[in-house]
Amino acid sequence: MKRVTLDQPLVWSQVVEVAGQEAYFDLSSGAKARVEAANSIVRAVVQKNIRAYGVNTGVGALSDTVVPPALQSALSHNILMSHAVGLGRPLSVVETRAIMVCAVNNFAHGFSGLRLCVVERLVELLNARCTPEVPRQGSVGYLSHMAHIGLVVIGHGYCRLDGERMPAAAALKRLGLEPLVLEAKEGLCLVNGSPCVTGLGCLLLDRAQRLMDWADAISAMSFETQRGQIRAVNASAMALRASPGLMKVAGRLTELLAGSGILAAATGRQTQDALSLRSIPHVHGAVRDTWDQVEQVVNRELASVTDNPVICGSPQAPEIYSQAHAVGAAIGLSMDQLGVAMAQLGAISERRIDRMVNPLVNGLPAFLAGASGVESGFMIAQYCAVSLVAHNRRLAAPASLDGGITSGLQEDILCHATPGALKAQVILDNLENIFAIELLAASQSYDLLDSSLAPAPRTAVLHGALREVIARYADDRPLGEDIIQAANFIQRESPDGLLAHTNLN
């Protein structure tokens, strides 16, 4: 198994590897030394009775309430208990693991102050595939999700181990581990910062990247079956618009459609195509440019300390800074941005679906049905796509502007970064299903075109791969089942992977 050793800050792809159980995870000696150095400063703060938020004071609006040394362990314990208020269905195993990896990454910067044994416990749980049960709802930022993870460290809450849901205390016993007793600041460390949204953001980047590749491949199939004008993506014309994403998409379309007899026969058939066809490089390219921007923000978040307070200086001269590094304004905005971009991909996909099923514009049998009137074909599948696009439009409203006031006016501006990531997940769920409908409609269109016209070799491979698992539709089965199968196909395969295993020379 691959090993990811955390020394310098991770990048998003490394988080995805560990979260997906594709890599063993550990800490470098340098990372361990940084964690221990910060903890030595916290111990000095306690010994010298220097007031520090969350170390020897309450939290939130209780920040001016002094907590004596004898109660600081209880404070850490109680923070987890009182903050674990999540509700609803749990996050998936991979989502929770991604959050845990990002939490360890945050602690390894060496400015949090908890003991090394606490950080190592999270690493042990990851490598043992023991995953805390974390309810999805109930957070305006990060507190409740992280608290449920922290509960398992102290032997409370629930987790999944060996595919079984069990109390955390039982899981730790099975692993030969004792629950930890937290010390000063450790409870606050375990609920603090932006690991929650960052972990979810890493997974969103990975999934969005795959769906962008499918967007280009499926749109090429739609473009071909609609007999578009390939000059619309001519490299010389595309180079006149400054956009790396546009150039990449135009290049991918050109490659996917090379050698198309269908498009060769359609040359000059009309002056220009509808925007949902000729603006594929512009819309898909803008989404790719947005993805690049979000990637930068997520990697910056991983490179940042997002704890409050941060522990600096030395045991001889502690420096404790109470600031707002835990506020996820930047990554919250980027999650909203990614959600909007993915919703845009779905919107243009639905417009292409409509062109394929609409007999007023495409010259194919109405709704791609074999016997119009007796069969309805893809008529209602397009309705479904419209519904999903509308749902995405509602979800694309920015969570980062929701605001709110909590903790007795102490926390009087909220960025809702984690909710932004969670709703972006739903947008991607919907997008996957929209693409499934477009892929089915494009494949059905190939089946109905003049068989004497050869498709491009690459699109023919994609069409053939789908037909190996889903037969041509003839109103002979519930179409919704085909959509589910096509969505599973998109999840399981990648267009580049399918094409790589085919000799196209």
Angle at 388 between CA 386 and CA 393, to 5 degrees: 95
Lowest-pLDDT choice from 38-52, 249-263, 305-319, 399-413 = 399-413
Task: Give tens-digit pLDDT for 353-391.
Answer: 999 999 888 889 999 998 767 889 999 999 999 999 999
The fraction of the chain above a pLDDT of 90, given in percent, is: 80
What are the residue ranges spanned by the domains of the chain?
Answer: 2-192, 200-500
Fold of 2-192: Fumarase C; Chain B, domain 1 (1.10.275)
**Other C-beta atoms within 10 Å of 238: how many?**
20
Cα atoms in the 13 Å half-sphere on the side-chain side of 462: 32
DSSP H helices in 141-259: 143-153, 168-174, 186-191, 195-225, 235-238, 244-257
Q: What is the pLDDT of residue 408?
A: 62
Examine the pLDDT at 396 and tell me if it is beyond 80: yes
Structure tokens at 481: 């089942």
Which is higher by pLDDT, 401 or 199?
A: 199
Which is higher by pLDDT, 161 or 501?
A: 161
Structure tokens at 292: 């690049």
Examine the pLDDT at 505 and tell me if it is beyond 70: no
Per the prediction, the chain carries an average pLDDT of 93
Report the predicted TM-score, pTM, of the whole model to 2 decimal places: 0.96
Q: Looking at residues 486-498, what average pLDDT do you find? A: 97
Examine the pLDDT at 150 and tell me if it is beyond 90: yes
Catalytic residue ranges: 53
Examine the pLDDT at 400 and tell me if it is beyond 70: yes
The domain at 200-500 falls in which architecture?
A: Up-down Bundle (1.20)
Q: What is the pLDDT of residue 40?
A: 96
